[in-house]
Amino acid sequence: MKQYLPLSLYIHIPWCVQKCPYCDFNSHQQKGEIPEKAYITHLLADLESDLARYAKAINGRTLSSIFIGGGTPSLFKPENIAYLLSEIAKKIPFSENIEITMEANPGTIEANNFSNFAQAGVTRISMGIQSFADDKLIQLGRIHNGQQAKQAISLAHSLWGNKLQSFNLDLMHGLPTQSLHQALDDLKQAIELNPPHLSWYQLTIEPNTAFASRPPILPDDDELWVIFEEGDKLLKAAGYEQYETSAYAKPGFQCQHNLNYWRFGDYLAIGCGAHGKISDVSSDTIGHIIRFSKTKHPRGYLQGNYRYEERIIPQDELAFEFFMNRFRLLEPVPKIEFETFTGLKCQDVATQINIALQKEFITESPTYWQITQKGKLFLNELLTLFLD
């Protein structure tokens, strides 16, 4: 591995006003005042530790993107986000056209905060809308209503192309007792608001959530498939291109940070429970790829105990790791990237590739592999091939 991969940074801010019943992210309900300044001090110390630990692997690379996720990062004051970003820039250089995304909850946004966050350095806002139907938002434990969601989107629109480079709406389908008409009505309202990027994904019941212990009634598989088919047609007719399993964008507005994830790029990660990946191209070991994670609970993290786990990906897992990411994207997978980013050769996965071709999960050219519509439907079965 001699080629340097793009480098991103993920920042996790764990606090929320309240925990949503479907959420399995590392989030903690706010109790009293959030220790913003103390947490930022620890974020910067965490970053400094990683920059020293992985110095040879980073080797002068610049940050191509930053994603501030949560939790609800918009609970933090804009001036504290500005300070955090300015201090990060002193520690590692930003690329010229860096994308800086921050997640925001419409229920935590005051009228002028989008502008202030943009002034702080945020170039892209990602809003957790989930639905425009008030009854569904209550079921999902959201703290905003449909009107507040539309007001937040309108505010983002007023800044788009000026202070903001882009913005995203997160929208769910397959909600408790949701009909086809209700699901498509939500999507039509989102499309009418004309965001440059739309993440449209199905609600799933995850372990260790409130919904897992008290499962709601969800649409069955046949209903879910019809919702997806009809919604996909609406999005494509409105000029959105699907580029990832649940992500649609107007041309030129794909999320660069997420693209770096799915293209098997590298990313540093700071904050409670954050996960990172670094390819150590300075190592003599081919395919020397490190995954690491940080302490989950704010209590331990704020005591300076940042690192939770670190492991080198075994060579027999590299192909699975690569394809698990790349086949989420609908674009062709260059064979040269497989060999460059993993240190493996195409012949090392020839048996698995041949089975995938026979099952019509993928197509192949001399230079790339391409996932098919059938492959998207049977993605888990496709990926399982590379676990052997």
Per-residue pLDDT of 228-245, as tens digits, reads 999 999 999 999 999 998
pTM for the predicted model, two decimal places: 0.94
Neighbours of 287 (CB within 10 A): 22
Residues 6+ apart with CB under 8 A from 276: 10, 50, 267, 268, 269, 291, 292, 293
- Asked if residue 71 has a cis previous peptide bond (ω within 30° of 0), the answer is yes
285 or 85, which is more confident: 85
Cβ atoms of 276 and 291 within 8 Å: the answer is yes
5 or 7, which is more confident: 7
pLDDT tens for 116-155 read 999 999 999 999 999 999 999 999 888 899 999 999 999 9
Q: Model confidence at 2, in pLDDT bands (50, 70, 90)?
A: very low
Any idea which of 13-27, 174-188, 341-355 has the lowest mean pLDDT?
Answer: 13-27
Listed residue (217, 197, 191, 194) closest to 205, CA to CA: 217
User: Rounded distance, CA 134 to CA 163, Å?
Assistant: 30
Placement of tokens 């499962």 in the chain = 215
Cβ atoms of 195 and 169 within 8 Å: the answer is yes
Once rounded to an integer, what is the mean pLDDT over residues 72-98? Answer: 96
Q: Model confidence at 110, in pLDDT bands (50, 70, 90)?
A: low
Listed residue (88, 84, 126) closest to 106, CA to CA: 126
| Residue 44 token pair | 């910067």
Concatenated DSSP letters for 13-79? E-EESS--TT--SS-EE--SS--HHHHHHHHHHHHHHHHHHTHHHHTTPPEEEEEEEES-GGGS-HH
Any idea which of 35-44, 49-58, 81-90, 109-118 has the lowest mean pLDDT?
Answer: 109-118
**pLDDT computed for residue 1 by the predictor:** 40
What are the start-end ranges of the H helices in 54-145?
A: 55-58, 78-91, 113-120, 134-139
In order of start, what are the domains of the chain with their CATH numbers? 7-259 (3.20.20.70), 333-387 (no CATH)
Q: Which helix (H) or strand (E) holds 362?
A: strand 362-364
Portion of the chain with pLDDT greater than 90, in percent: 79
Once rounded to an integer, what is the mean pLDDT over residues 336-343? Answer: 91
Portion of the chain with pLDDT greater than 70, in percent: 96
Q: Which helix (H) or strand (E) holds 299?
A: helix 298-301
User: Rounded distance, CA 115 to CA 99, Å?
Assistant: 16
Q: Which helix (H) or strand (E) holds 267?
A: strand 266-271
**pLDDT computed for residue 313 by the predictor:** 93
pLDDT at 24 over 50: yes
pLDDT tens for 261-301 read 999 999 999 999 999 999 976 555 445 899 999 999 999 99
User: Rounded distance, CA 293 to CA 67, Å?
Assistant: 16
pLDDT at 388 over 80: no
**pLDDT computed for residue 3 by the predictor:** 53
53 or 23, which is more confident: 53
Listed residue (122, 87, 98) closest to 6, CA to CA: 98
Q: What is the DSSP letter of 164?
A: B
Mean pLDDT, rounded, of the chain: 92
